[in-house]
Amino acid sequence: MKMTDIAFGVTDWADVPVTKHAGEIGEALWRTRQFGNVRVRQVEYTPGYLADHWCRKGHILLVLEGELVTELEDGRRFTMTPGMSYQVADEAEAHRSQTVAGAKLFVVD
């Protein structure tokens, strides 16, 4: 990824409007900024959240709060806690997220 034409800026995530995205169970609350072709998000999953699809988009994801379980379509599962991250390319391993108690993430894609 090459980032171009992005001026220096500061984001106060509390000022970014929330959009709600239903999961199979629970909701994902996104605060999204777009910088050219780079999307940057703060995402909160409600307790009990389970994604409603297998995602094939590439991400770099950092867990800020809570515990996130990421399942790959091949059955592998990864439990992540604050300070842990993952990275995956577009159209690589399909993945989906779930959480028992909720989680807050920082995502770049």
Mean pLDDT along residues 54-70: 96
Domains defined along the chain, listed by start = 18-108 (2.60.120.10)
Cβ-in-10-Å burial (0-12, 13-18, 19+) of 4 comes to exposed
What percent of the chain has pLDDT above 70?
A: 99
Q: CB within 8 A of 10, min separation 6: which ones? A: none
Tens of pLDDT along 1-15? Answer: 677 888 899 999 999
The model's pTM is: 0.92
25: three-class secondary structure by DSSP: strand
Pick from 77, 81, 75, 34: which is nearest to 61 by CA? 81
